[in-house]
Structure 1
Amino acid sequence: MTNATPVAPVRLGTLEPVTTPTKLFRTVAIAEAITWTGLLIGMFLKYGTETTEVGVRIFGMLHGVVFVAYVVTTVVVWVDRRWSAGRGLLALVAAVPPLATLPLEWWAIRKGWLGDSWRLPSGATRSLPDRVVGWLLVNPLRGLCMGLVAVGALTALALAVGPPTS
């Protein structure tokens, strides 16, 4: 006989699939750092050893998509946790220097910036940012789809503008 703990089913349209602010922010911050690492290795191979451009092609696109996902995640957490403008801008700027999202994420956890539960929608106010983030948290699958559309649209816009060197 096993002593298996029953697992509650995940109900669509509830907060269960969304996870916590800490887990979501940590996951995206680490992914952003990993793609930065891949891009840096690709740039070394392209410009340092002049052997291949494959790493830049793959990780350049991947990093761009994850960068946009990090920005969207940061804004959602910023609104939900009621970060100050300085804290929110610091979190956004951390995506620019290579691997800076890692120390920022560690610092944010140490200082209690993230939390283990979402404030919204239960604490939603009438402000537009609160209502939008509250809706995203109550409708996680729709929010994920909208997030993917937003990331795709921003990535397409960046591709249309072209790389910084062209």
Structure 2
Amino acid sequence: MLKTFKFIALLEGLSLLVLLFIAMPLKYIWDKPELVRSVGMIHGILFIAYIVIATVIKSDEKWSMKTYGLICIASVIPFGTFVMEKKLLEKA
């Protein structure tokens, strides 16, 4: 399950970066909002999957509340899931 979580974390992090650094500038700078809807939907689904899987495996991996909180916070910070995987999940 941890392997699946790491894969979802990678996809969620990439989708956030695409949303923030490609889709949003296209919408607000070049007035092309088409990509925001599709990338936003994909990112939303991946975000929900990330949080749900993190919650499910919290007890299996015996994460402290601090670790779990950091893992959840990492999902809303650009590059956060990449840092989280390197620093927090490296031990697992």
* TM-score, length of structure 2 as denominator length: 0.90
Cα deviation 1:100-152 (Å, max 9, x = unaligned): 11110111233x1x3xxxxxxxxxxxxxxxxxxxxxxxxxxxxxxxxxxxxxx
**Highest relative contact order (Cα 8 Å, sep 6+), 1 or 2?**
2
What is the SS of the residue equivalent to 1:82? coil
Which stretches in structure 2 are left out of the alignment for 5+ residues? none
Which residue in the other structure is 2:77 paired with? 97
Q: Which amino acid aligns with 2:85?
A: E
Q: CA deviation at 1:79?
A: 1.5
Which residue in the other structure is 2:4 paired with? 24
Q: CA deviation at 1:57?
A: 0.6
The alignment-based identity, stated in percent, is 34
Tell me, yes or no, if structure 1 residue 63 matches structure 2 residue 43.
yes
Tell me, yes or no, if structure 1 residue 84 matches structure 2 residue 64.
yes
Runs of 4+ in 1 over 6 A off after TM superposition: none
Q: Is the CA contact 1:38–1:55 (under 8 Å) kept in the aligned structure 2?
A: no
Distance 1:96 1:88 in 2: 14
What is the SS of the residue equivalent to 1:39? helix
Distance 1:25 1:106 in 2: 13
What is the SS of the residue equivalent to 2:79? coil
Q: Which amino acid aligns with 1:55?
A: L
Q: Report the structure, 1 or 2, having the larger helix content.
A: 2
Which stretches in structure 1 are left out of the alignment for 5+ residues? 1-19, 115-166
What is the SS of the residue equivalent to 1:81? coil
2:34 to 34, 54, 58: 54
User: What is the root-mean-square deviation of aligned Cα atoms in Å?
Assistant: 1.2
